[in-house]
Every structure is written in structure tokens, then in C-alpha cells.
Amino acid sequence: MTADELTTRDVDEAPAVGGERAQWLAALAKHRHFLRFTTRDLTDEQAGLRTTVSELCLGGLIKHVAEVERVWGDFILGGPAAMPDYTAMTEADRARRADSFRMLPGETLAGVLDNYAEVARRTDELVTTVPDLDTTWPLPKAPWTEPGAQWSVRQVLMHIISETAQHSGHADIIRESLDGAKSMS
């Protein structure tokens, strides 16, 4: 399945809601589309290539964004217990995190895109069904988190959109470096 087909399918299956929740879903769909669109017409090998001095590749970026979205979805449902204590990460934990930015042997672009689509469907369902967007949880321990900080479901959704948009920009640069293709021109 191509990135365009996944986008069409996700839009067709988007839950019907209105108001603020519809705006969250539209923003998520827009930025997911741009991220997936960077992989159009690529082979698995191309999706795994580093085209800049960065360690990032297109398939790895999509893997990472899917993992971030999945973990924050878990946080929406279960609070900080759904996430690790990032201050206690081991070398093995850091290696696994680094692998989330790469296409590993045996991984395919189609598999990465399918996983991302499944994570996106779950998040979209959370947006439509979570009882209160103001539900707040303490953030997990992390070097980048202020002690005692809390986020609402709304703030988590803002973070997921920001993360997706930021990495969509990274992906656009990687794709342009790969073969000159651009997402927005």
C-alpha cells in the first residue's frame, strides 16, 4: 500500500465528530499526510537511506513518530505509569531508542506505514472517545521534564501534532536530499 492510499483510507475511516475534537483530528490527519507523503514511490532500501549527516532516514522517522504517538496514547489512558522513567535509561534502552529512528533488517516501508496507520487509528479513536480533554496526568520522569509538571489530554494532543509536524519537515529535507522530490511544491 502506498502513502497516498493510506492517507485516503485513514480519511475515509475517520470517526465523525464535531467541534474541537474534529479540529484535533484534522490537524493530525494533515501532518500525518505530509509525513507519509515523503515516502511515496520509494523502495524499502530508499526508505532506510541516510541522505544527510543526520542518523535519520524516512522509514525511521515514521517508526519514531508512530512510537511517540503510541506511547502518548498510552499516557492518555494510564498516565505516567504507561511510560518508562527516562532518568533511569540503560545503554540497552538508549540503543532501542536509537533503533526507533532506523529501518532495521527485515523491516519494510509497507510494514512501517501499516503500523503507523494502526497507531493513528487508535489515537483518532481516543480523540473521539476520551471523556474529558482536560483530564490531567503528571508527566513521567525525564531529563527534559520539569519536576511536578502535568499535561492534559489536550496538551498531549498538541505534543503529538508538534512532533509529527517537526519530523515531517525533517522527512521533507531527507526526501529532497534523496532524489529531489518535495512534499509541498
Q: Is the predicted pLDDT of residue 92 greater than 70, yes or no?
A: yes
* Alpha-carbon distances of 41 from 45, 60, 137, 167, 181, rounded to whole Å: 12, 16, 41, 19, 10
Q: Is the predicted pLDDT of residue 167 greater than 90, yes or no?
A: yes
pLDDT at residue number 144: 87
**Residue 184 pLDDT class (50, 70, 90 cuts):** confident
Which are the contacts of 163, defined by CB distance < 8 A and separation ≥ 6?
65, 68, 69
Mean of the pLDDT values across residues 22-38? 97
pLDDT at residue number 55: 87
Whole-model pTM: value is 0.87
Q: How many residues does the chain have?
A: 185
Mean of the pLDDT values across residues 66-95? 92
CA 63 – CA 48 distance, rounded (Å): 11
**Residue 164 pLDDT class (50, 70, 90 cuts):** very high
